[in-house]
Amino acid sequence: MSNTILVGAQWGDEGKGKIIDVLTEQADVVVRTQGGNNAGHTVYLGPKKYVLHLIPSGILRKNKLCVIGNGVVIDPVGLVSEIEGLKKLNVKVGKNLVVSETAHIVLPYHRELDAQREVLKGKNKIGTTKRGIGPAYGDKAARVGIRMIDLINPARFEEKLKLRIKENNEVLKALGAKPLSFKKVLAEYRAAGDYLKPYVANTVVLLHQATRRGDTILFEGAQGTFLDIDHGTYPYVTSSNTTSGGACTGSGVAPNRMDEVVGVMKAYTTRVGEGPLPTENAEISDLLHGMGREFGATTGRARRCGWFDSVATRHATMVNGIDKLAITNLDGLDTVATIKVCVAYRHGKDHFDFVPNDAQLLAECEPVYVEFDGWLTPTDKAKTWKELPPKARAYAKAIAELTGAELFIASVGPAREQTIFV
C-alpha cells in the first residue's frame, strides 16, 4: 500500500472506521486531518465494539503511529476521556499517539454557541452534533482560535482564555444563554492540557520524516463529501474540508506525496441532520431501522436513509479523485426484492448528472431510478467475491461503474472477517 487518502463518498457514516481498520494493517502511520469529535468511527474486534471520535482507529493495532493533524479541532477534555476509555479497554495509548501543536481546540463557548445558533435558525437548523465544531473552525478562520500549543503553555493559555471568555460571554448573554465561569473552564482545560502535553508535537515535521523514511501513511477522512464546507450541500454541511484536499492542508503533507484516494460508500445512502437527500425513502429507512441499523455513533440519532445515489457518488469521484471504492453494508439490502439506484436528477425540464450547488434546488430534484433485482439471500457469511450471490455481485459492480472508480472491497458486516477483496 502507498500513501492513501480515504474519504467518505456520501454524507458521512459510510463505514469508514471499519475500512480504515482493515487498511491500517498495511500502514505505518494513520492520520486524522479534519473534523473533531463530531465524528464517530465504529470498529468491532471480535465481540468488542470501539467507537473512536478523535483518535485514528490505527490505535487498535500494534506498532502503528497515530497522528491527530493540524486540521482537526480538538476538544481536549473529550480527548482525555477517549484516551482513558481506550486504556480501560486495554488498548495501549502512549508514544503511538501524537497530536499536532497547531490543531485548534474546542472550548465550552463553542459548544454553547453551536447550540444557540441552531435554536436561532429554527426550522432552518443544520442539525449539528452540537460539539462546537462550526464555532471552533469559525474562530480559526477569524484568527481568534486557541491552539494545542497555547493549551500546553499555562500562562499563555490563561491570558488567551480570559479574553475569549470575556467576548463570548457577552455574545452568550445577548442570546439569552448562561455566561461561562472563566475559573471553572480554566481549571478543567489546564488539567486536560497537562495530561495531553506529552502527546503534543510538530506533526508536520514528523510526517515529513515518515515520508522520507518511506513509511506508508493512511489519511483517514471523517464525515463525507457532501458535508464538505466547500463542496457539500451548503449550508447543511460541517465546517471542514472532508474531501481529499483536506488531507493535505490538514496534515501538511504535500499533494505530490499522495498516491491514491479510496472512496467509501454504502450500498445505499444515509444522512444525519438536516439538508437535502434526493433519494430519501421511508420504506428503506423503516427496513434498516427495523434491523437495528443506521443509528448515529456519536449522537445516537436515527439516520435518514435512501436508495443508492450514483449522481452523488460520481460527483464525489470527481471532487476527490477517487481511484478505488469500498462498498459497505451490502448485507443491508439482503432482503430487498427490487433495489433502486438513482442515475440522474430531474428538476422541471432540467436533468442533472452532477449535484447542483443550490441546496434548495437539490431538495426539489426528483431522482430518476433504474431497478435491480435483489438477491434475497444472506451475504454476511460470504468470505470471497465468488461466494456472494451473482445478483449481489452484479449490483456492487454496477454501482461502482456508475460511480466511476474501481471496486476493491465489498463489506458484508461490521467484523474484519466480513471484508471481501474484489
CB of 372 to ligand IMP, least distance (A): 26
Q: Which of 4, 34, 38, 279 contacts ligand IMP by CB under 6 A?
A: 38
CB of 119 to ligand IMP, least distance (A): 14
Q: Which is nearer to ligand IMP, 102 or 129 (CB)?
A: 129
Q: Which is nearer to ligand IMP, 193 or 276 (CB)?
A: 276
Q: Which of 39, 148, 312, 316 contacts ligand IMP by CB under 6 A?
A: 39
CB of 112 to ligand IMP, least distance (A): 14
Asked if residue 134 binds ligand IMP (CB under 6 A), the reply is: yes
Q: Which is nearer to ligand IMP, 142 or 337 (CB)?
A: 142
Asked if residue 126 binds ligand IMP (CB under 6 A), the reply is: yes
* Among the residue ranges 125-133, 212-220, 253-261, 334-342, the one whose residues contact ligand IMP (CB under 6 A): 125-133
Q: Which of 22, 258, 272, 355 contacts ligand IMP by CB under 6 A?
A: 272
406 Cβ partners below 8 Å, 6+ apart?
Answer: 323, 324, 325, 400
Is residue 41 part of the annotated active site? The answer reads yes
* Among the residue ranges 23-31, 55-63, 124-132, 331-339, the one whose residues contact ligand IMP (CB under 6 A): 124-132
Q: Find the binding residues for ligand IMP in span 7-26 (CB under 6 A).
A: 12-13
Candidates 12, 3, 410; CA nearest to 227 is: 12
Q: Which of 57, 96, 100, 129 contacts ligand IMP by CB under 6 A?
A: 129
CB of 385 to ligand IMP, least distance (A): 29
CB of 402 to ligand IMP, least distance (A): 23
Q: Which is nearer to ligand IMP, 117 or 190 (CB)?
A: 117
* Among the residue ranges 98-106, 129-137, 150-158, 190-198, the one whose residues contact ligand IMP (CB under 6 A): 129-137
Q: Which residue has the cell 451490502?
A: 330
List 21, 41, 150, 315, catalytic entry: 41
Asked if residue 263 binds ligand IMP (CB under 6 A), the reply is: no
Candidates 390, 395, 280; CA nearest to 329 is: 395
Residues 199-238, one symbol each (x = binds ligand IMP by CB under 6 A, - = not), give -----------------------xx---x----------x
Total site size for ligand IMP, rule CB under 6 A? 19
**Annotated catalytic sites, by residue?**
13, 41
Residues that bind ligand IMP (CB under 6 A): 12-13, 38-40, 126-129, 131, 133-134, 222-223, 227, 238-239, 272-273
